[in-house]
Structure 1
Amino acid sequence: MNASIAADPSPGRDVRIDPLPYEHLLEPRPLSQVDLVVVHCTELPDLATARDYGERLLYEASGTGNSGHWYIDRDGSVERWVDPARIAHHVRGHNPRSVGIELVNTGRWPRWLDSRHQAMAEAYPEAQVVALIGLLETLAAELPALRWIAGHEDLDVELVAASDDAAVQVRRKRDPGPMFPWQRVLDALPPLERL
């Protein structure tokens, strides 16, 4: 693992840079192309499990997988797994124009598509929200075209058959979910508008 620590302009915030093994295979792009940040939650129990999922190769042709650019753990620690100058696979139809931030949160884990398990009840800890706002402030200053913010659930609204009953439809993606403090984040970042 080639991780390093990079200073982030946000007060008191360091970002651990730990590129995914396939980062160099992701398509490059100019940062001027990025006008959207997408907030996700991992829907996994911890950061280590999220890393395992991020390292999985899902696209044989390119040798890459699904991942956000940044991950913020419950204690507020921040890791960057994909350089924002590369297109990560984190939200269908919006990857070329966006960066993804994943918040460690259980969401619906481990029964994501079970119709009886759609509640998302884990709150986002204060340290995690503060770190997210700090990272968003930095991105707003560093990405010249950044104007929009959205949740994964705003952009991927597909319904799929529930895993427990194919006759029932559930949302494929619900993150960051009802516990996410949208108003607080938007109030802290007036230059960003919710898409």
Structure 2
Amino acid sequence: MLALIPGAGASARPIDLIVIHATGGPGCKHGRLWHAPGGTLESNLRHFATHPNIGYHYLIGRDGETVAGTPETQVAFHARGRNSSSIGIELVNDGNGKDPFPPAQINALIDLLARLLHRYDLTPDRILGHSEVDRRAFVCGKKRYKLKIDPGGEYPGSSGNFPWKRVREALR
């Protein structure tokens, strides 16, 4: 189910990239590597509503429910340095490379991506993970870690689990 926001649709701004995110992510607590859980669709909607400095164009729950956020005609602050010409899609997921991406969520993502690729005349190679466009890092316990590993990249104890192959093959 897609909840549309008035004004969503074809954009007057040039779109050349779609960035996939996960709502969870790594951090440091008391000198130890920690990973924030991805939460639920509802908890993420509340989070974004109270944090106007971050945004998304679409948020997809584990059950495939898709909610539109910032209209595509406007910039959503989701990927530092890439916001002005991209669409940001958040997936409710821990993003730790272990939390599974349910089939309903990936099917909804593929459907949305197919529409966006067509709308903006893009090819599947213009879909990237947040980890590919944000190279920032942080230090925790005297070790350096990548800040953005989403949507489901490598993380200590995991080799990553986002189904890039399935997504890209479905969009050919």
TM-score by length of 1: 0.70
1:149 aligns with 2:127: yes
Higher relative contact order (CA 8 A, sep 6+): 2
- Counterpart in 2 of 1:159? 137
Map residues 1-195 of structure 1 onto 2, 5 A cutoff. 14-17=1-4, 30-31=12-13, 33-43=14-24, 44-57=38-51, 64-108=52-96, 120-144=97-121, 146-147=122-123, 148-162=126-140, 165=141, 167-177=142-152, 178-190=160-172
Q: Measure how far apart 1:65 and its partner are.
A: 1.9
Distance 2:99 2:144 in 1: 23
Larger-Rg structure: 1
- Deviation string, structure 1 residues 75-103 (Cα, Å, up to 9, x no partner): 11110011111000000110011000111
Distance 2:107 2:95 in 1: 20
Q: What is the identity percentage for the equivalent residue pairs of Structure 1 and Structure 2?
A: 34
| 2:135 aligned counterpart, secondary structure | coil
Amino acid at match of 1:41: A
Closer/same/farther in 2, CA of residues 134 and 183 from structure 1, 3 Å limit: same
Q: Measure how far apart 1:18 and its partner are.
A: 5.4
Distance 1:34 1:140 in 2: 10
- Deviation string, structure 1 residues 20-62 (Cα, Å, up to 9, x no partner): xxx9xxxxx624x0010000011121112211221234xxxxx
Q: Unmatched 5+ residue regions in structure 1? A: 1-13, 24-28, 58-63, 109-119, 191-195
Distance 2:18 2:162 in 1: 15
- Deviation string, structure 1 residues 132-165 (Cα, Å, up to 9, x no partner): 0000111112123x34110000111111112xx2
| 1:102 aligned counterpart, secondary structure | strand
Higher share in strand: 2
Distance 1:65 1:18 in 2: 19
| 2:45 aligned counterpart, secondary structure | helix
Distance 2:137 2:53 in 1: 22
Q: Unmatched 5+ residue regions in structure 2? A: 25-37, 153-159
